A = this chain, B = another copy of it.
Amino acid sequence: MTDLPSPVMLHDTPRAPNPRRVRIFMAEKGISLPVTPVDIMTGEQFAAHKDRVGSHNVPALALEDGSFLTETVAICRYLEAFHPEPNLMGRDPLETARIEMWSRRGEVQLMFPVASVLRHGNPAMAVMEEQCPAWAEANGPRVARGLVWLNASLEGKDYLAGDRFTVADITALVTVDFMRTIRTPVPEEHGATHRWLERVRARDTLVP
């Protein structure tokens, strides 16, 4: 591990869900890094940020060898190698695969539909997306089905991937919180989701 380049800087932006996933992941592990802010509402990710990083993706993790990592889950996996505790991505191959499966399902079933409603339906997002209003509309029912999926997935479990808090919960929680941008609340009758939200929101690592 000592031969590997350390993370030295996080290129970050407030409010967007993927950067917050990484911030909460770091808070869970007590990792603190200097931050270069990227203003995605003015399109900086397609200009100065892309020139620096080689990709428009935010967040981006700068390493001491001068290279960058992007893609939220790849960044989290790298950070976990440097700060293994508390474990958030699995301690053995089966647990690792299950956590990855649940985090992916959270992305596909809920995060992508929520993001599609916002990015294709909100005029303020036109700076970052070639918008397709019909796709925003089509994703309203997908969000509703995603919430049903989440509630069913949490039935009889304390956390999304099983009996402890993992990166899968971070994916799902950040998405549920982000639903305020599309004015969609978790339905009152989704008891399992509400119990999980209460459990997860008691943590002191849920940085904005």
Contact = CB atoms under 8 A, between A and B. Distances in A.
Task: Report the interface size class on chain A.
Answer: 20 to 34
A133 to B, nearest CB: 8
A160 to B, nearest CB: 13
Give 6 closest A-B pairs by Cβ, nearest first.
A81-B93, A134-B134, A78-B97, A74-B100, A132-B138, A74-B101
Given A135-B132, A138-B130, A78 B104 contact: no
14 contacts: A5-B94, A55-B105, A69-B97, A69-B101, A73-B100, A74-B101, A74-B104, A77-B97, A77-B100, A78-B94, A130-B141, A132-B138, A134-B134, A135-B138
A185 to B, nearest CB: 23
A98 interface: yes
A166 to B, nearest CB: 13
Interface in A131-186: 132, 134-135, 138, 141
A45 to B, nearest CB: 14
A77 B90 CA distance: 12
Interface string A81-113: 110000000001110111011001100000000
